[in-house]
Amino acid sequence: SAVISQKPSRDICQRGTSLTIQCQVDSQVTMMFWYRQQPGQSLTLIATANQGSEATYESGFVIDKFPISRPNLTFSTLTVSNMSPEDSSIYLCSVVGLAGGRTDTQYFGPGTRLTVL
C-alpha cells in the first residue's frame, strides 16, 4: 500500500523562528490536508492544500501564520511562522485518494511533533 511520510518527525525550535514541514506520498492523491493536534486535544483541521493554487484555510487559521504549498499531487509543505510556545503541537498531513485505500477516507501521515521554547 502507499506510504505517507513527513519530515521532520520532530523538532525543537526557538520562539520567533519558522519551521517547514514536508508531507510526501509515494503515489498521486486527490486531496491533501493539514491538521494540528495540541497537547491533550483532538485533531483540528488547519487547511486544505490545493494543488497549484492557494490553500483553503479553516476559521482561526491564516496564510501568514501557516503558509502551505502543494506543487504537485504527491507533495505538500506546511510552514509554521513566527513560532510561539502555543504552536507546540503535533502537525499531521492527511490525504484522500490513496492508492490501495478507500476513496472516501482520509489517511494520515505519522505526524511532526513540534516543541517551541
Partner 1 sequence: DQQVKQNSPSLSVQEGRISILNCDYTNSMFDYFLWYKKYPAEGPTFLISISSIKDKNEDGRFTVFLNKSAKHLSLHIVPSQPGDSAVYFCAASGGTSYDKVIFGPGTSLSVIP
Task: Report how many residues bind partner 1 under the rule CB under 8 A.
Answer: 25
Contact between 106 and partner 1 by CB under 8 A: the answer reads yes
Residue 37 or 79 having the CB closest to partner 1: 37
Taking CB under 8 A as the criterion, which residues in 21-50 touch partner 1? 30-31, 41-45
> Which is nearest to 78 in space by CA: 97, 104, 103, 57?
57
Q: Does 113 bind partner 1 (CB under 8 A)?
A: yes
Q: Which residues contact 40 (CB under 8 A, 6 or more apart)?
A: none
Q: How far is the CB of 13 from partner 1 (least distance, A)?
A: 18
Long-range contacts of 43-48 (CB under 8 A, 24+ apart): 43/92, 46/78, 46/91
